[in-house]
Structure 1
Amino acid sequence: MWLVVGLGNPGPRYARTRHNFGWMAVEALARSQGLVFRETPEGRALAAEWPERAVFLLPLTYMNLSGEAVASALRRWPVPRERVLVVYDDLDLPLGRLKLAPRGGSGGHRGMASVLASLGTEEIPRLRMGIGRPARGIPVPDYVLSEFAPEEWPLAERILTLAGEAVRTVLEEGLARAMTLYNRRDLLQNVKEGVKDGR
């Protein structure tokens, strides 16, 4: 069993923003399997169970307190820390890049920082989804809480699908195999060309 966490903020105001990229990916994957999200008893997250494979978790605590929801979920579904996969947006990767890793710091991402602090370790697997950095003069908070531009959506939607495939690969074949397939730098160019060609 894995606990797959999609970081983001709850509510329609944030649903399609860059900061909810991880949430969108996990939600889309779960729904593609016909799974239904339900609020956890303590009210800190939405959860969908994929029997004998994974629990998909969408924290309702808002980004900066994501760790509270994850820690609470681990009391209900006590999976090992090395099987907690956190999916989230990353400013340091361009839109279209995915990066899986078995451990590491938060990289300045407050949601991931909250998860690491609550679990007391940096040995937490993660899937970072690039959103790129804002243009000069645009504050980072405004940028991450804004929606993707219309011209970005075709690429963003393709990456949501790829992120779901990456998570499934982790669940079915392991993290190392998924890293080999989805950490490739040429993947970004291939995806962009596919979007351009309508594939």
Structure 2
Amino acid sequence: MYLIAGLGNPGPRFTGTRHNAGFLVVDELAARWGGKFRRIGASEVLRVGHKGAMLIKPQTFMNLSGGAVQAALSKERAPLDDLLVIHDDVDLPLGRLRFKQGGGAGGQKGVKDVIDRLGPDFLRLKIGVGRPPDGRGTDNWVLGRFAPEERQVLADVIAEAADAVETLLTLDLETAMNRANGIDLAADSKGILD
């Protein structure tokens, strides 16, 4: 069973922010598959038996995501190979996706906390949110909401990310990677986002 953890910050204050891209993908999968999240420990969880997956939304705030992910893995007695962490990435432009196996956190503090608790050898799906256009720091940027002109690209990339997860579950990682890593909705919307 795959444990699919979408990272984000809980509560209405953070709904629709760049940092909650992981939550958005997990919510899209839940909408497609049906069912309701329920609180188990420090996470909202939806077990989807017919898909062989469990969706997880840590409710611990981004920088403390590792404890909730570790608890879910432990409760399920699942190996690290069964974990997929979905998160925002400022180094990818909005409209891009990237599967990555292992490695560092790339400055993403939620991923860093997961690595600190579990080690680096797990699968990630990065959702591009881009960097601030004016070169300022990213802390406030990732806690900001998407601009109205970005919302269609966001909706499209969230749908593509959910498609990629379904490909991973029904086919294999290589096929999912080939699909997701080639997506560039930002190029398709050039001029809209500039």
The normalised TM-score by structure 2 is 0.93
Residue number in structure 2 paired with 1:105:
104
Residue number in structure 2 paired with 1:174:
172
Q: Does 1:188 align with 2:184?
A: yes
Change (3 A) 1:18 1:189: closer
- Whether the aligned pair in 2 keeps the contact of 1:82 and 1:124 (CA below 8 Å) is yes
Q: Following TM superposition, by how much is the alpha carbon of 1:189 offset from its aligned partner in structure 2, in angstroms?
A: 4.8
The secondary structure found in structure 2 opposite 1:129 is strand
Q: Partners in 2 of 1:189 and 1:28 — Cα distance? A: 18
Q: Partners in 2 of 1:153 and 1:189 — Cα distance? A: 12
Unaligned runs of at least 5 residues, structure 1: none
CA-based RMSD: 1.7
The within-5 A match list for 1:90-101 is 90-101=89-100
Aligned structure 1 segments of 4 or more residues deviating by more than 6 angstroms = none
Q: Partners in 1 of 2:15 and 2:168 — Cα distance? A: 25
Residue number in structure 2 paired with 1:69:
68
- Whether the aligned pair in 1 keeps the contact of 2:94 and 2:186 (CA below 8 Å) is no
Change (3 A) 1:191 1:37: farther
Residue number in structure 1 paired with 2:142:
144
Letter in 2 for 1:192: D
Q: Partners in 2 of 1:80 and 1:72 — Cα distance? A: 12
- Whether the aligned pair in 1 keeps the contact of 2:95 and 2:186 (CA below 8 Å) is no
Identity of aligned residues (%): 40
Q: Partners in 1 of 2:8 and 2:186 — Cα distance? A: 27
Q: Following TM superposition, by how much is the alpha carbon of 1:181 offset from its aligned partner in structure 2, in angstroms?
A: 1.3
Letter in 1 for 2:89: D
Q: Deviations over 1:42-65 (max 9, x none)?
A: 2x0000001151100000010010
Residue number in structure 1 paired with 2:7:
7
The normalised TM-score by structure 1 is 0.91
